[in-house]
């Protein structure tokens, strides 16, 4: 039976996902069989797993750091927001319900059993399981029925390292204040603390570090400076997608939809030296110099289509295509580009139908069966093979499907407009394939020699080196039990 250690944050976005990924790689380099685990994640950026389910994309990256294929046991509860107050609940890779936030508390107690079941299976096959919390244990108003932080730590007897984010300021209050509000039995689970995202000379924080140790009685495991190559790893938040600023190159603009999903399609493009990728936020007009506009996936397609129209992007996009610009819709974005989206059973919101953007001569009907699979495909225009995955509901048909974007096992997939300027596809992850991405970019006159997956692997090694230099990694791993 393997040991376990849990990384919790004194707040959201303290860098838990990256710390777990770096520790996973450091543990693997020590010869340990290590696996990541997150009891509950909230994200629309999902990965398809080897056992045919879905988990948060961050756990897929952590699995890569461990040298493992993603598995549903690594993230047994995934919440996929569909509205401001409701989310789809995915348990061990399969959708079980859509609930309002205020009703989720009643569901949580029933989820601890599958969470512990998945955790137990990982412990049986590994020397070490590194667990990532969610949000912060300081949210004691959510403690009843908790499966994400101290509720899980107590149930699994997993020691906790509390991480504070000094970049936001107030890190002393973050950590000392967390101890002050925790139940004493919960606080007893904390084996120590670490500080993350320091900029400048860490010695300037020596007095603050000692103050935290003195006030809490917890052991400090070090201060990790800001990791400058973090942008080279797949982003957990779409608005974190940002490579180095560039003044020239192929201009790709992606619409930052309110329920954007599976935006890992964009990570490789953000790193291309010959590409300028912009995430267009709400309230901003589409730049007139855009070469390509990407309409990305969405967890609530009709709602996001209304959001798109509210920004005036439907008018901008039509003008862009009229000027000779090109557009690519991925998954939900593909559905939006068509003439109509019908959801007769209310699978993604109120039942009904919505006129599409009309840039592709296709129509979509939402269906209850969800497609979750890895695929091998061939891009029709370039003949380039690639691997990707599908994760969607809905069936799309129409005249433009006679000009497919790709072929999967010989069958047509996606659609292309008669003038070739607009294309749509249900396939995600295609741009991770170096050969396909180079062939596709060549069609825009942009060269590519980026080895994306190799770069991610090298960055995980650099992250592990970074943590080894600044944190007591041996002490952290020894704290596991």
Residue 265 pLDDT: 83
Residue 247 pLDDT: 63
* Contact call for residues 233 and 240 (beta carbons, < 8 A): no
Give the residue-averaged pLDDT of 9-38: 97
Burial class (CB in 10 A: 0-12, 13-18, 19+), 245: exposed
Specify whether 256 is located in the same domain as 306: yes
Chain centroid, CA 93 distance in Å:
15
**For residue range 386-401, what is the model confidence (pLDDT) as tens digits?**
999 998 889 999 999 9
Specify whether 249 is located in the same domain as 210: no
Give the residue-averaged pLDDT of 299-306: 94
In this model, does residue 238 exceed pLDDT 70? no
Q: Which residue has the tokens 């990924």?
A: 21
In this model, does residue 58 exceed pLDDT 90? yes
Best CA proximity match to 15, nearest among 177, 224, 253, 299: 224
Residue 71 pLDDT: 97
Confidence of residue 369 (pLDDT cuts 50, 70, 90): confident
| Neighbouring C-beta atoms of residue 479, cutoff 10 Å | 18
Residue 151 pLDDT: 97
Confidence of residue 202 (pLDDT cuts 50, 70, 90): confident
Which segment, 26-30, 96-100, 372-376, is predicted with the most confidence on average? 26-30
In 367-437, DSSP assigns E strands to: 371-379, 385-392, 395-397, 406-408, 411-413, 415-416, 422-425
Give the residue-averaged pLDDT of 240-259: 80
Q: Residue 45: inside a domain, yes or no?
A: yes
Reading the block at residue 64, the tokens are 């890569």
DSSP-derived pairing of the beta strands 40-42 and 260-261: unpaired
Specify whether 248 is located in the same domain as 364: yes
* Contact call for residues 24 and 151 (beta carbons, < 8 A): no
Specify whether 193 is located in the same domain as 261: no
In this model, does residue 242 exceed pLDDT 70? no
Dihedral class, residue 78 (left if φ above 0, else alpha if ψ from -120 to 50, else beta) = beta
Best CA proximity match to 36, nearest among 108, 109, 112, 125: 125
Specify whether 187 is located in the same domain as 97: yes
Reading the block at residue 75, the tokens are 């993230």
Element (H, E) at 364: strand 363-365
Q: Which of 126, 254, 331, 401 is catalytic?
A: 331
- Of the listed ranges 67-76, 83-92, 467-476, the least confidently predicted one is 83-92
Q: Residue 478: inside a domain, yes or no?
A: no
* Contact call for residues 33 and 477 (beta carbons, < 8 A): no
Q: Which of 71, 428, 466, 470 is catalytic?
A: 428
Confidence of residue 108 (pLDDT cuts 50, 70, 90): confident
Best CA proximity match to 334, nearest among 392, 410, 386, 373: 392
Specify whether 217 is located in the same domain as 300: no
- Cα 121 to Cα 34, 49, 132, 226, distances in angstroms: 13, 16, 17, 34
Q: Residue 471: inside a domain, yes or no?
A: no
Specify whether 37 is located in the same domain as 150: yes
Q: What is the torsional sign of CA 215, 216, 218, 221?
A: negative
Q: Which residue has the tokens 């991925």?
A: 330
Domain CATH code at residue 188: 3.40.50.300
Q: Residue 155: inside a domain, yes or no?
A: yes
Residue 372 pLDDT: 85
Specify whether 209 is located in the same domain as 253: no
Per the annotation, the verdict on 331 as an active-site residue is yes
Three-state DSSP at 220 gives strand
Reading the block at residue 282, the tokens are 């709400």
Q: Residue 468: inside a domain, yes or no?
A: no
- Please give the radius of gyration of the chain, using alpha carbons only, rounded to the nearest integer: 23
Burial pattern 366-389, b for ≥16 Cβ within 10 A else e, equals beeebebeebebbbbeeebebebb
Confidence of residue 276 (pLDDT cuts 50, 70, 90): very high
> 313-322 vs 301-310: helix axis angle to the nearest 10?
80
Give CA–CA dist 128/117, Å, rounded: 16
In this model, does residue 236 exceed pLDDT 80? no
Q: Residue 477: inside a domain, yes or no?
A: no
Q: Could you tell me the strand order of the sheet in which 275-280 lies? A: 275-280, 250-255, 292-295, 326-330, 422-425, 415-416
Specify whether 43 is located in the same domain as 65: yes
Q: Residue 474: inside a domain, yes or no?
A: no
Reading the block at residue 99, the tokens are 């609930």
In this model, does residue 270 exceed pLDDT 60? yes
DSSP-derived pairing of the beta strands 352-355 and 340-343: antiparallel
Q: What is the torsional sign of CA 48, 462, 274, 433?
A: negative
Residue 245 pLDDT: 60
Q: Domain ends where: 167, 201, 226?
A: 226
Specify whether 164 is located in the same domain as 219: yes
Give CA–CA dist 338/396, Å, rounded: 9
Give CA–CA dist 53/80, Å, rounded: 14
Q: Phi/psi at 288 (nearest 5 deg)?
A: -70, -20
Q: Domain ends where: 226, 259, 276?
A: 226
Give CA–CA dist 41/38, Å, rounded: 7
Give the residue-averaged pLDDT of 107-114: 93
- Residues making up the chain, counted from first to last: 481
Confidence of residue 262 (pLDDT cuts 50, 70, 90): confident
Residue 244 pLDDT: 60
**For residue range 311-344, what is the model confidence (pLDDT) as tens digits?**
999 999 999 999 999 999 999 999 999 999 999 9
- Of the listed ranges 244-248, 289-293, 394-398, the least confidently predicted one is 244-248
Residue 400 pLDDT: 98
In this model, does residue 241 exceed pLDDT 90? no
Domains identified in the chain, total number: 2
* Contact call for residues 15 and 171 (beta carbons, < 8 A): no
- Of the listed ranges 360-364, 388-392, 430-434, the least confidently predicted one is 388-392
In this model, does residue 7 exceed pLDDT 80? yes
Q: Residue 15: inside a domain, yes or no?
A: yes
Specify whether 298 is located in the same domain as 196: no
Specify whether 347 is located in the same domain as 413: yes
Q: For the chain, what is the mean pLDDT?
A: 94
Give the residue-averaged pLDDT of 91-108: 85
Domain CATH code at residue 432: 3.40.50.880
Per the annotation, the verdict on 428 as an active-site residue is yes
Confidence of residue 106 (pLDDT cuts 50, 70, 90): confident
* Contact call for residues 137 and 186 (beta carbons, < 8 A): yes
**How big, in percent rounded to 5, are the helix, strand and coil portions of the chain?**
35, 30, 35
The fraction of the chain above a pLDDT of 90, given in percent, is 83
Residue 85 pLDDT: 63
Which domain, by its residues, includes 247?
A: 238-451
């Amino acid at each position: 039976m393997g040991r376990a250690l849990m990384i919790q944050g004194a707040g959201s976005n303290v860098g838990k996902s990256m710390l777990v990924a770096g520790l996973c790689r450091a543990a693997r380099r020590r010869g340990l069989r290590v696996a990541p685990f997150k009891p509950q994640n909230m994200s629309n950026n999902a990965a398809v797993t080897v056992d045919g389910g879905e988990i948060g994309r961050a756990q897929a990256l952590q699995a890569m750091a461990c040298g493992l294929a993603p598995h549903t046991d690594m993230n047994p509860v995934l919440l996929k927001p569909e509205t401001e107050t409701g989310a789809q609940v995915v348990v061990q890779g399969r959708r079980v319900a859509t609930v309002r936030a205020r009703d989720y508390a009643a569901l949580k107690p029933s989820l601890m059993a599958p969470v512990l079941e998945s955790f137990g299976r990982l412990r049986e096959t590994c020397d070490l399981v590194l667990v990532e919390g969610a949000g912060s244990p300081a949210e004691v108003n959510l403690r009843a029925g908790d499966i994400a932080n101290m509720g899980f730590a107590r149930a699994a007897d997993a020691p906790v390292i509390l991480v504070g984010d000094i970049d936001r300021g107030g890190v002393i209050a973050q950590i000392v204040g967390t101890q002050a509000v925790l139940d004493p039995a919960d606080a007893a689970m904390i084996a120590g603390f670490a500080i993350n995202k320091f900029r400048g000379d860490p010695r300037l924080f020596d007095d603050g570090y000692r103050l935290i140790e003195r006030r809490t009685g917890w052991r400090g495991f070090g201060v990790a400076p800001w990791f400058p190559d973090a942008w080279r790893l797949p982003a957990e938040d779409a608005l974190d997608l940002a490579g180095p600023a560039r003044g020239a190159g192929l201009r790709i603009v992606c619409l930052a939809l309110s329920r954007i999903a599976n935006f890992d399609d964009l990570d490789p493009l953000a790193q291309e030296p010959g590409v300028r990728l912009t995430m267009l936020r709400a309230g901003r007009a589409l730049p007139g110099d855009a070469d390509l506009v990407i309409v990305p996936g969405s967890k609530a397609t009709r709602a996001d289509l209304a959001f798109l129209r509210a920004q005036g992007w439907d008018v901008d996009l039509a003008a862009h295509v009229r000027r000779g610009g090109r557009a690519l819709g991925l998954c939900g974005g593909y559905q939006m580009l068509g003439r109509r989206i019908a959801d007769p059973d209310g699978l993604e919101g109120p039942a009904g139908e919505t006129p599409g953007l009309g840039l592709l001569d296709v129509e979509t009907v939402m269906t209850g069966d969800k497609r979750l699979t890895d695929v091998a495909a061939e891009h029709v225009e370039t003949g380039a093979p690639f691997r990707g995955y599908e994760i969607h509901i809905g069936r799309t048909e129409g005249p433009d499907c006679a000009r497919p974007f790709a072929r999967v096992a010989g069958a047509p997939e996606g659609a292309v407009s008669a003038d070739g300027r607009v294309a749509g596809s249900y396939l995600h992850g295609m741009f991770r394939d170096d050969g396909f991405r180079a062939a596709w970019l060549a069609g825009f006159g942009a060269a590519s020699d980026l080895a994306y997956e190799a770069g991610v692997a090298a960055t995980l090694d650099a992250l592990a080196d970074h943590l080894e230099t600044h944190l007591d990694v041996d002490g952290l791993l020894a704290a596991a039990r």
